Amino acid sequence: MSDLASQVCEACRIDAPKVSDNEAQDLMQDIDGWDLVEEDTKKLRKVYSFSSYQDSKDFVNKVAEMAEAEDHHPHLILEWGKVTVSWWSHKINGLHKNDFICAAKTDLLNQNN
């Protein structure tokens, strides 16, 4: 388990500092298979594959429960056999350490499938 997965999200304020590019590159080493994408803002994104729609839906429900417990919520796209998860911090319109923590926790949920 990544050290990130054992951490807890902190309350993110509108004036919270964004993760720097150097910090992001360091943190990316702890979350395998995630992409750092830039659309309207920087985001973490990963696509998970499943053998059925039900397995995809079950995974989305697990991620949603974890997100609610962390009070940090991703963008989820549910498709047959595939779930796309995107993390970023809406309040600061960018990446915060919380996003990397939740990405690691998302991976952990997938390992438990």
Whole-model pTM: value is 0.92
Q: What is the mean pLDDT of residues 21-31?
A: 95
Between 2 and 19, the more confident residue is 19
Distance CA 103, CA 113 (A): 16
61: Cβ–Cβ under 8 A, 6 or more apart, which residues?
Answer: none
Domain ranges in the chain are 38-113
Question: Residue 4 above 90 pLDDT?
Answer: no
Predicted pLDDT of residue 1? 47
Cβ atoms of residues 88 and 44 within 8 Å:
yes
Would you state the structure tokens that stand for residue 104, as one six-digit string? 């690691």
Q: Which CATH architecture has domain 38-113?
A: 2-Layer Sandwich (3.30)
Q: Each residue of 32-66: b (16+ CB within 10 Å) or e? A: eebeeeeeeebbbbbebebeeeebbeebbebbeeb
